[in-house]
Structure 1
Amino acid sequence: MSAEIPAWLALESGLVMQGRAVGAEGEKGGDLVFNTAMSGYHEILTDPSYAGQVVLMTYPQIGNYGVVDEDAESARAWPEAFVMREMSSIHSNHRATSSLPAWLKEQGIVAIDGIDTRELTKHVRERGSLRCVVSTTDGDTTSLVAKAKATPSTDGRDLASVVTTGAPYTWAEGYHESYPHELGRAFDGAGTKGGGERIRVVAYDFGIKRNILRSLVHCGFDVTVVPAGTPADDALAHDPQAIFLSNGPGDPAAVSSGIAAVSDLIGKRPIFGICLGHQILSIVLGAKTSKMPFGHHGANHPVRDLQTGKIEITSQNHSFAVETDSLPDHLELTHLNLNDHTVEGMRHKTEKVMSVQYHPEAAPGPLDAGHLFSRFREFVAG
């Protein structure tokens, strides 16, 4: 059995914790965010929305079912580092293609376990968003805290331009057979199984997750994905019937090329935005965004759909949010977070524009909001 390698976690607040290296060796830093989901660590790690951040899992044991290639939300891992209470020493899953430690090393992700994640989460909740550094090479407390203070935060950073595709491409893959059938039923027969006419959509990639693409295909859309900085005229040259704006990392106000493109698309095609796409839409339409104290990251956030009165349990991953008081008169609040009353959805009163802050495509995750993709289809079809 190989000897354990020590690792350290340091926050800009001065808190330093020692644990064990369970991924790649090295040193990485970024904004520390905690995720409250009990499963789905592989999807979390491959979600481009985590670029520039260090992910802390609040669930105590991670890695027990290994890594499954088909569950990846992108082609690589994106967080700067990964923090856990305990990395499982074994994994058991007939679908597994690798163990989590081996995959983290292959992906070059610095990871640490043996951390009191309860204390660390409470620290972030009390202090707000904090920069940190995770290291397997430097055990000096003073040095580590100084590095944490010097680490770039996500404020003012256009990280969408870092994670986006380099060129347009088409996506035609629907759900894997292993995906829950409940979500298929949530679409009310629209799209492929319903045999309806397919709809051409251009999807802006600000850090798009594969399951969003699968959801669009399943619900009857033919998808062309374009880079985050694609001008409106170039997007319209694909002759889409609708525009989709994806999730992504960083500060929405910094995504200047995306804001410019969306500004030119309003009123020309129906538009649906999720997460960062929702925030970019809000800025274009006159609202404001700001960084949250510690963000929403997890699979258990209650949201009220103000149009139906129903409450949905949702998956979320965002550190910035739309300021409720900044919504102009032409925007209608459609979804509200029941924990902190933040904006979870909106629509334009006269133009075909709708958006939500949370993730209806989450996998694994609650399936309550899967109907939003069929709602988008109905929105486009009129």
Structure 2
Amino acid sequence: MSVRTCLVLENGSIYNGKGFGYPAPLPRDLEPGTPSFSNAGEVVFNTAMVGYHEVLTDPSYTGQIITMTYPHMGNYGHLDDWNESGPLGEDCQDSSSCDPRPVKAAGFVLRSLYRGPVPKGRITLDEYLNRHEIPGITDVDTRRLTLEIRDGGAVNAVLVRPENPALGLSPDEINMISSYLESFPGMLGRNLVRDVGTSLKFSRSRPLEGSYAGMRLALYDCGTKANIIRELEKLGCEITVYPSDSSARDILNGKHHGVLVSNGPGDPQVLQDQIATVKGLIGNMPVFGICLGHQLIAEALGARTYKMKFGHHGINHPVRDERTKKVFVTSQNHGFAVDEKTLPSGTQVWFRNANDLSIEGIRNDELSVLTAQFHPESAPGPYDSHWIFQAFLDAVPREAWAEPA
């Protein structure tokens, strides 16, 4: 039976609904000064109509509560094969070497939850979130919530259950919640990379077939999505994954042909160790960055990033290639962007958001640097941006990696 649940924003707004998944905590159970990866986080809206499972398991959503603008979710259930939660399973030497949380989001906010049967072999969205101790809330006015975020910006929030469901939250409970949210860290200035990805270097052992068979790539894991690895392997690349605390020397000693700096959560400006690593790689091998990787590369080149009002989250964002002027559909999940005014000489805007004109990718041909703020490994187009992986791999001289004919 659904239990009355509330989403409370730090600005005082309260959204009432019905709980699903794992039960939200009572206000008296909240501990101020103790951040959690469940129940609380920055609330953002996502405009995707499908793909809720990929959204929930994306490491870039660590520290965030997601509200879906599409009104109905859950109708096709859950299957582990869809996970985007990064290197897991046989890639980890033990349970402590990778982030063990399949669900990265701190909470899920819906207008309507599907509660009917799902295809054989799958489980319901309700059961999936309950299994991984993540609370959800349904029957919420998500249109009102989305407009509030759009107009006022993304804010911290928490999911809770009133002590007395019939009466709702009492003044004392609201005070407890306010104290908790006052002490909860904002996304600006928050380092979350240490909480995702692998903590040990490992190599993927896969049959290598494809146009780029023989190319050895380093993947600098700041919270990578699993599909990034899948797409590179489809092209024939041999992947070695490095944890986010690796140095440039660690990666250069691997004698790779190129490096991909992955996506990930949090504020790029505070990741000074990772920026230093990327700076040490640029100029020594071709470098490609996705999402957070794009931001880290920009910082390493001397540019600056800033926090957006509510970010870009969804699978229907139009992006323009500034070289060809072609517009294509992309999947996006980011709350920070690169300040165009700070781009150094020799670095050009490669991609631009067709809605707000923010930077969606940069390139420096002299240094063999390419980036994409969006996610070319996703398939909203469905294949509009897969070519970007090949553009990066083509930056590696063929004679450097291909076997003699």
Superposition TM-score, scaled by structure 1 size: 0.91
Deviation sequence 1:53-101 (CA, Å, 0-9, x none) = 111111111110000110101251111111111110114335x521111
Partner SS state of residue 281, structure 1 = helix
Deviation at 1:148, TM superposition (A): 3.0
Query: 1:41–1:82: structure 2 CA closer, same or farther, 3 Å change rule?
Result: same
What is the CA–CA distance in structure 2 between the aligned matches of 1:106 and 1:264, rounded to whole Å?
A: 42
In structure 2, the residue matched to 1:185 is none
In structure 2, the residue matched to 1:178 is none
In structure 1, the residue matched to 2:247 is 231
The equivalent position to 1:121 in structure 2, one of 135, 146, 152, is 146
1:5 equivalent to 2:3? Answer yes
Query: 1:86–1:145: structure 2 CA closer, same or farther, 3 Å change rule?
Result: farther
1:308 equivalent to 2:324? Answer yes
In structure 2, the residue matched to 1:182 is none
- Matched to 2:2, the amino acid is E
Deviation at 1:305, TM superposition (A): 0.5
Partner SS state of residue 129, structure 2 = helix
What is the CA–CA distance in structure 2 between the aligned matches of 1:234 and 1:293, rounded to whole Å?
A: 37
What is the CA–CA distance in structure 1 between the aligned matches of 2:205 and 2:8, rounded to whole Å?
A: 44
- Matched to 1:328, the amino acid is P
In structure 2, the residue matched to 1:332 is 348
In structure 2, the residue matched to 1:188 is none
The equivalent position to 1:107 in structure 2, one of 132, 135, 142, is 132
In structure 2, the residue matched to 1:48 is 59
Deviation at 1:229, TM superposition (A): 1.1
The answer to which of 358-367 and 159-168 deviates more is: 358-367
Query: 1:243–1:286: structure 2 CA closer, same or farther, 3 Å change rule?
Result: same
The equivalent position to 1:68 in structure 2, one of 79, 82, 101, is 79
What is the CA–CA distance in structure 2 between the aligned matches of 1:246 and 1:193, rounded to whole Å?
A: 22
Superposition TM-score, scaled by structure 2 size: 0.86
In structure 1, the residue matched to 2:202 is 169
Deviation sequence 1:234-280 (CA, Å, 0-9, x none) = 11222211011000000001112211111111111100000000000
Deviation at 1:344, TM superposition (A): 0.5
- The alignment covers a number of residue pairs equal to 362
In structure 1, the residue matched to 2:183 is 150
What is the CA–CA distance in structure 2 between the aligned matches of 1:23 and 1:202, rounded to whole Å?
A: 37
1:252 equivalent to 2:268? Answer yes
Partner SS state of residue 263, structure 2 = coil
Equivalent residues of 1:232, 1:265 under 8 A apart: yes
What is the CA–CA distance in structure 1 between the aligned matches of 2:379 and 2:134, rounded to whole Å?
A: 22
The equivalent position to 1:18 in structure 2, one of 16, 19, 22, is 16
Gaps of at least 5 residues in structure 1 are 175-190
Partner SS state of residue 340, structure 1 = coil
- Matched to 1:377, the amino acid is L
Q: Report the RMSD for the aligned CA atoms in angstroms.
A: 1.7
What is the CA–CA distance in structure 1 between the aligned matches of 2:5 and 2:397, rounded to whole Å?
A: 54
Partner SS state of residue 308, structure 1 = coil
Identity among equivalent pairs (%): 40
1:379 equivalent to 2:390? Answer no
Gaps of at least 5 residues in structure 2 are 26-38, 89-101, 164-168, 399-405
Which aligned runs of 4 or more in structure 1 are off by greater than 6 angstroms? none
What is the CA–CA distance in structure 1 between the aligned matches of 2:362 and 2:219, rounded to whole Å?
A: 19
Deviation at 1:147, TM superposition (A): 2.9
The answer to which of 160-169 and 112-121 deviates more is: 160-169
In structure 2, the residue matched to 1:215 is 231
Deviation sequence 1:293-333 (CA, Å, 0-9, x none) = 00000001100011222111100000001012111222111
Equivalent residues of 1:52, 1:153 under 8 A apart: no
Partner SS state of residue 302, structure 2 = coil
Equivalent residues of 2:213, 2:238 under 8 A apart: no
1:367 equivalent to 2:400? Answer no
What is the CA–CA distance in structure 2 between the aligned matches of 1:315 and 1:216, rounded to whole Å?
A: 18
